[in-house]
Structures are given as C-alpha cells and as structure tokens.
C-alpha cells in the first residue's frame, strides 16, 4: 500500500517498474529484429501449420474450429497472421512481453523481493525465448495461463476460471 510505504521505497518501486517497462520494450524490439532477420523458425512443421491455419481462417471459417490449429489461438492470432509470418511473430512477442509483465505484477502483488527478476526469468527460459519467434502456440498458452493466475491473485476468481477454461483450446 503506497500510504504505508516510506517515500524512499516508493521511489525505488517506481524505478523498478520503469526498469521493467524499459527491459520489456527493449526485449520486444530485440525479438522483432531477430524475427525479421531469421530465415526460418524453431519448429518448421507445427509452426508453419499453425500460421497457415491462422492466416487462412477468414477465407475458410471452419479453420476457426480446427482442433489442431487450437481454436482460441487461431481466433486471437488470425488478424496478426494476415501480415504474413512476421505477423504471427509479432503476436507471439507481444504475448511473451505481456506474460512477463503479468509475472512481474503477480510478484509485486505477492511482495516477492526483486520482483523484476521474474520478467527476466520468464523471457529467458531457454526453450521459451527460442519459441517466441515461431508460430507455435506455447507462448499464447503461457499468456492465457499467466492471465488466469493474475486474475486469481487479483481475487477475480470467476474471470480466472473462465480464462483457465480456454487453455485446452490454446
């Protein structure tokens, strides 16, 4: 609570939050450059398949219900995929950054010391950071899962349960 926190610590909290926002922005830019320079994807089979299902879902609406494509993933990513494969990379980078931000917010809410480290831990998990510049659904799954956790920590249990119920379709 800001009212019970000494001014010195309020300043540190603001600096920590600003540092996390700066780090997330730089990470987004770095991954965008890597995604644009990349000549391939981490896993070409599933990654390309998810992208194609997402891209052509407006032309073939039955793809919105295609279980292999993961319906909720297809719905959320289909607008981005219209930009080409870079669109789905932007979608995944955005999901990863928001997931890391939610992790930071959860840690802050739970009063974890050095909460800013959570964002780094999330973004630089070895396999996670590689999968970000692909069309795989794991990054969106992490985003929906972290959203459900955040909603639960924020005591919005019904919305948390609703978010968690979408996980099989992500």
DSSP-derived secondary structure letter, 169:
G
Compute the distance between CA of residue 56 and CA of residue 158 in angstroms, rounded to an integer.
33
Residue 2 has pLDDT above 70, yes or no: no
Q: How far apart are the first and last CA of the chain?
A: 35
pLDDT in tens, 16-44: 888 999 999 999 999 999 999 988 777 77
Instruction: Give the whole-number percent of the chain exceeding pLDDT 70.
Output: 92
**Encoded tokens for 167:** 């996980």
**Encoded tokens for 131:** 């999968």
Over range 100-120, report the average pLDDT: 93
């Amino acid at each position: 609570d800001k009212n019970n926190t000494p001014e010195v610590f309020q300043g540190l909290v603001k600096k920590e939050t600003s540092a996390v926002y700066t780090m997330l922005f730089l990470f987004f830019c770095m991954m965008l450059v890597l995604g644009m320079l990349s000549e391939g994807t981490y896993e070409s089979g599933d990654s390309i398949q998810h992208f194609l299902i997402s891209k052509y879902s407006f032309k073939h609406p039955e793809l919105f219900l295609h279980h292999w494509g993961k319906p909720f993933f297809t719905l959320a990513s289909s607008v981005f995929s219209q930009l080409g494969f870079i669109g789905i990379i932007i979608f995944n980078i955005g999901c990863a950054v928001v997931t890391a931000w939610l992790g930071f917010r959860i840690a802050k809410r739970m009063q974890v010391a050095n909460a800013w480290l959570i964002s780094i831990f999330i973004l630089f998990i070895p396999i996670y950071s590689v999968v970000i510049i692909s069309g795989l659904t794991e990054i969106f799954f992490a985003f929906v899962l972290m959203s459900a956790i955040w909603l639960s920590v924020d005591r919005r249990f019904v919305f948390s349960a609703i978010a968690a119920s979408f996980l099989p379709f992500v």
